């Protein structure tokens, strides 16, 4: 395992691979700073470029992008009081008041250092778990893998939105959509609408870009031409931010560990992790009086957690092939595009690639923090560029990216169809990430289902592992449905 | 104070009802789709049938459950993802919907034009019109359009991608 880690570092630091990591970091910083565009849009933008790419370069680029979005999204949160992405909402609570007092640089400085430390702790946690995971992975049979996949899907469905039924519906939509095209178990074409284009099924790039990028573009454009008319004054306190982090180093470690730990749970996105950590830091603080008025601990806690989350989220993604979030689903899909089969065998057969992921997180966080520090002035100005000036170019980029999937005009039409679908889902509050994750997991779930039913018939349902995971799944989904019903009822009574 | 509160509640309900209608319409469309897919899944060979059959049944069940919850008012009033301001007025809500539909229409036109006249021409026209619409001069819009074309060309060459020439191209074919 140690040898694989060293080899992975050597591979990653080769100029061509490192260049792609750097490219991912730069694009990630750019996406993070644009309010409204998050990791999903970023991943969707770069994913088409991974066609035919070497897996190391592709993985480094995507991980680089995903790792630093929560670094640069601090700029708009602190300077303008607008979340750069869902992962920096809680940072506004104390970051923006600090900026209003002329201490924006202090908040940014503390946030960048915490992001850096958090990201590295997340990577360390991931690498620490990997050696222990191998025996667990080896002990799992197909029935358990099927149940783990269903558990992951169920958790994402009920935890990623406010309405678990709509989450389950979105997941089912993804699972059904994934069954279009050739059946993985026999040479039968399903739901092809009598077109050649759908013989290979729905294309993931069109689905991901359509579901996530186009609705965000339309939402940003509908709000008006300019993202914000506020000024971005950095203020002072770069060194003070560093001193604040040194003074609160245990806080940084504690929240990075919480972030990585919660990131492990499928379905809990950046926004939830951010707020949980903000809640925890207030709960355990002796002096709570300054929170919401510019307490630096209110910046340190969420910023340490949201970068550490990436390492935690990769644990189920790598070990079981269960993406806990939309961006992890895209990472898995990109691995497939690059010819790597994700799933439990990945750690056994592609240990170096797994460690490339670990190193990429760590190096990307260092690069991201360094760039954010050095170029903070110009970067902060990017946030006030009117979105309508950037949008046409991003639309052209994603259109070319989607078209690259099969070079068929159907790629563009399906992009449009999923864009409209994404807009409707966004507007009606149906979570989109479960649909994407359902789509990505559709083929493995069907394959597992076919294998267990043909090999074990109904006997697999009595295996202890299956029963335990099944009971856990029923409990989580049942509890979510029950608590959602109670919440709605109490809101209704209040009104 | 109470008048202000009741106004807020009214606006909140109005915003919710717009989304509620859209949600009901969408869910109804899904219901029909799942039914059709379920019928088609019945025609597949046994090995390929089980999974889509089970999934469409589950979809139909969830759609039915959603409809009941929407009608009973058990869906969230406002969704955090959509990021809507709770204090927006009825007129603003209507305008927001209009804008969304208008931008969707623009995007539809763009992709339809790619099919008809090809990627490059569509890209240039789209970027030019879009920038012009936001009040920039002809010159600036032309510069933006040319930048778009350069980007498309660069991507096409970098990725060795033959961009769609468009339907009209067939008119000049032998």
The radius of gyration of chain A's CA atoms, rounded to the nearest angstrom, is 22
Answer yes or no: do B9 and A495 touch at CB < 8 A: yes
A201 vs A30: CA distance, rounded Å: 33
Size of interface A-B (CB pairs under 8 A): 184
Arithmetic mean of pLDDT over chain A:
83
The ranges of chain B with pLDDT < 70 are: 1-18, 74-92, 173-174
The reply to whether residue A430 touches residue B23, judged by beta carbons under 8 angstroms, is yes
Q: Each residue of A299-333: pLDDT tens digit? A: 898 888 888 888 888 888 887 888 877 778 888 88
Binning pLDDT at 50, 70 and 90, where does residue A177 land?
Answer: very high
Q: Are A110 and A245 in contact (CB under 8 A)?
A: yes
State the Cα–Cα distance between residues A20 and A26, nearest whole angstrom.
Answer: 10
Distance CA A201, CA A207 (A): 11
Interface with chain A: mutation pick from B107, B146, B154, highest number of A CBs within 10 Å: B107
Give the angle A163-A323-A262 at the CA atoms, nearest 5°: 70
Spatial distance between the Cα atoms of A131 and A354, rounded to a whole number of angstroms: 12
A225 CB-contact burial (10 Å; exposed 0-12 / middle 13-18 / buried 19+): middle
Residues A460-488, mean pLDDT to the nearest whole number: 84
Name the phi and psi angles at A182, rounded to 5. -70, 135
- Assign 3-class secondary structure to chain A: CHHHHHHHHHHHCCHHHHHHHHHHHHHHHHHHHCCCCCHHHHHHHHHHHHCCCCHHHHHHHHHHHHHHHHHHCHHHHHHHCCCCCHHHHHHHHHHHHHHHCCCHHHHHHHHHHHHHHHHHHHHHHHHHHHHHHHHHHHHCCHHHHHHHHHHHHHHHHHHCCCCHHHHHHHHHHHHHHCCCEECCCCCCEECCCCCCHHHHCCCHHHHHHHHHHHHHHHHHHHHCCCCCCCCCCCCCCHHHHHHHHHHCHHHHHHHHHHHHHHHCCCCCCHHHHHHHHHHHHHHHCCCCCCCCCCCCHHHHHHHHHHHHHHHHHHHHHHHHCCCCCHHHHHHHHHHHHCCCCCCCCHHHHCHHHHHHHHHHHHHHHHHHHHHHHHCHHHHHHHCCCCHHHHHHHHHHHHHHHHHCCCCCHHHHHHHHHHHHHHHHHHHHCCCCHHHHHHHHHHHHHHHHHHHHHHHHCCHHHHCHHHHHHHHHHHHHHHHHHHHHHHHHHHHHHHC
The pLDDT value recorded for residue A288 is 79
| pLDDT of the residue at A487 | 61
Nearest CA in chain B to A174: B55
Contact A492 B73 (CB under 8 A): yes
Q: Does B168 touch chain A (CB under 8 A)?
A: no
Nearest CA in chain A to B157: A400
Please judge whether A403 and B119 are an interchain contact, meaning their C-beta atoms are less than 8 angstroms apart: yes
Mutation choice for B interface testing from A84, A169, A210, A436 by most B CBs within 10 A: A169
Contacts of A1 (CB under 8 A, 6+ apart): A130, A131, A351
Cβ pair A434, A156 in contact under 8 A: yes
Residue A223 reports pLDDT greater than 60: yes
Q: How far from B77 is each of A92, A432, A490, B11, CA to CA, in Å?
A: 25, 18, 13, 11
A392 and B30 within 8 Å at the Cβ level: the answer is no
ipTM: 0.84
* B127-132 long-range Cβ contacts below 8 angstroms, 24+ apart: B127/A392, B127/A393, B127/A396, B130/A388, B130/A391, B130/A392, B130/B106, B131/A388, B131/A389, B131/A392
Mean pLDDT calculated for residue range A7-33 = 87
Tell whether A193 lies on the interface with B, counting CB pairs under 8 A.
Answer: no
Q: Is A392 on the interface with B (CB under 8 A)?
A: yes
Say whether residue B26 is in contact with chain A using an 8 A CB cutoff.
yes
- Which residue is closest to A394 within chain B, CA to CA? B148
Model confidence, pTM: 0.82
Percentage of residues in chain A having pLDDT higher than 90: 10
- The two tokens of residue A34 are 């644009």
Residue B157 neighbours by CB distance under 10 Å: 9
According to DSSP, residue B83 is labeled T
Chain position carrying tokens 């965000």: A216
Buried b (16+ CB within 10 A) or exposed e, A35-46: bbbbbbbbbbbb
The pLDDT, as a whole number, for residue B1 is 47
> Distance, in angstroms, between B174 CA and closest chain A CA?
22
Residues A44-86 pLDDT 10s: 888 878 877 888 888 899 888 888 887 888 888 888 777 777 7
Query: Nearest-5° angle of CA A157, CA A433, CA A199?
Result: 105
More confident: A298 or B80? A298
Beta-carbon separation of A188 and B47 below 8 A:
yes
Name the most confidently modeled range: A279-283, A409-413, B17-21. A409-413
Task: Inform me whether the pLDDT recorded for A11 exceeds 80.
Answer: yes
CB proximity B74 to A under 8 Å: yes
**Residues A455, A458, A463, CA angle at the centre, nearest 5°?**
90
Contacts of B59 in chain A (CB under 8 A): 169, 172-173, 176
pLDDT at B83: 45
Measured CA to CA in angstroms, residue B169 lies from A271, A294, B21, B116, B156 at distances of: 48, 62, 43, 8, 18
Q: Is A429 in contact with B19 (Cβ distance < 8 A)?
A: yes
Quote the minimal CA–CA distance from A482 to chain B in Å.
Answer: 12
Q: How far apart are CA A324 and CA A265, in angstroms?
A: 7
Is there a contact between A214 and B107 if contact means CB atoms under 8 Å apart?
yes
Distance of alpha carbon A84 from alpha carbon A72, whole angstroms: 8
Residue A190 main-chain phi, psi, to 5 deg: -120, 140
Q: What is the pLDDT of residue A412?
A: 92
Task: Report residue A296 as tokens.
Answer: 């630096």
């Amino acid at each position: 395992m140690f040898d694989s880690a060293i080899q992975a570092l050597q591979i990653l630091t080769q100029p061509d691979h490192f260049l792609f990591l750097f490219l991912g970091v730069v694009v990630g910083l750019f996406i993070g700073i644009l309010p409204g565009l998050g990791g999903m849009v970023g991943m969707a933008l770069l994913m088409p470029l991974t066609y035919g790419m070497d897996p190391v370069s592709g993985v480094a680029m995507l991980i680089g992008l995903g790792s630093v979005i929560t670094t640069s999204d601090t700029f708009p949160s602190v300077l303008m009081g607008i979340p750069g992405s869902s992962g920096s909402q809680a940072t506004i609570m104390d970051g923006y008041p600090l900026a209003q007092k002329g201490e924006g640089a202090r908040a940014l400085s503390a946030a960048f250092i915490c992001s850096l430390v958090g990201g590295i702790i997340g990577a360390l946690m991931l690498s620490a778990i990997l050696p222990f995971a191998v025996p667990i992975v080896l002990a799992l049979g197909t029935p358990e893998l099927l149940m783990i996949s269903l558990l992951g899907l169920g958790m994402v469905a009920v935890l990623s939105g406010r309405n678990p039924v709509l989450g389950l519906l979105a997941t089912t939509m993804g699972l059904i959509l994934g069954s279009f095209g050739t059946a993985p178990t026999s040479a039968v074409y399903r739901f092809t609408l009598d077109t050649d284009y759908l013989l290979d099924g729905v294309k993931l790039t069109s689905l991901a870009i359509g579901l996530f990028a186009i609705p965000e573009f339309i939402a940003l454009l509908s709000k008006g031409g300019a993202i914000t008319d506020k000024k971005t004054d950095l203020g002072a306190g770069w060194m003070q931010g560093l001193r604040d982090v040194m003074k609160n180093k245990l806080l940084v470690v504690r929240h990075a560990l919480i972030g990585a730990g919660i990131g492990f749970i499928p379905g809990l996105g950046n926004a939830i992790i951010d707020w949980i950590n903000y809640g925890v830091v207030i709960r355990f603080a002796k002096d709570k009086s300054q929170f919401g008025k510019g307490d630096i601990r209110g910046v340190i806690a969420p910023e340490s957690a949201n970068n550490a989350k990436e390492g935690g989220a990769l644990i189920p993604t790598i070990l079981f092939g269960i993406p806990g979030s939309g961006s992890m689903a895209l990472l898995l899909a990109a691995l497939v595009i690059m010819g790597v089969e994700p799933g439990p065998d990945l750690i056994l057969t592609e240990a170096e690639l797994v460690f490339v992921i670990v190193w990429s997180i760590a190096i990307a966080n260092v690069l991201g923090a360094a760039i954010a520090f050095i170029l903070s002035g110009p970067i902060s100005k990017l946030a006030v560029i009117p979105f309508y000036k950037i949008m046409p170019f991003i639309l052209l980029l994603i259109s070319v990216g989607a078209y690259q999937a099969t070079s068929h005009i159907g790629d563009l039409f399906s992009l449009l169809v999923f864009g409209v679908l994404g807009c409707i889902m966004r507007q009606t509050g149906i979570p989109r990430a479960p649909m994407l994750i359902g789509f990505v997991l559709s083929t493995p779930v069907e394959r597992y289902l076919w294998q267990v039913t043909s090999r074990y018939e109904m006997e697999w349902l009595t295996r202890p592992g299956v029963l335990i995971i099944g009971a856990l799944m029923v409990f989580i989904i049942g509890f979510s449905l029950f608590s959602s019903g109670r919440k709605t009822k109490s809101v209704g009574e209040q009104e | 104070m109470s008048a202000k509160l009741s106004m807020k509640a009214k606006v909140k309900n109005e915003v919710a009802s717009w989304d509620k209608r859209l949600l009901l319409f969408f869910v109804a469309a899904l219901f029909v789709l799942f039914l059709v897919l379920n019928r088609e899944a019945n025609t597949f060979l046994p090995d390929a049938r089980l999974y889509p059959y089970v999934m469409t049944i589950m979809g139909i069940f969830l759609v039915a459950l959603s409809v009941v919850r929407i009608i009973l008012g058990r869906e969230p009033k406002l969704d955090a993802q959509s990021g809507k301001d709770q204090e927006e007025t009825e007129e603003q809500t209507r305008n927001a919907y209009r804008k969304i539909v208008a931008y969707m229409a623009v995007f539809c036109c763009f992709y339809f034009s790619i099919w008809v006249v090809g990627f490059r021409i569509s890209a240039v026209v789209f970027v030019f019109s879009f920038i012009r619409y936001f009040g920039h001069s002809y010159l600036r819009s032309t510069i933006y359009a040319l930048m778009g074309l350069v980007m498309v060309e660069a991507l096409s060459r970098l990725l060795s991608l033959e961009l769609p020439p468009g339907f009209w191209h067939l008119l000049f074919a032998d």
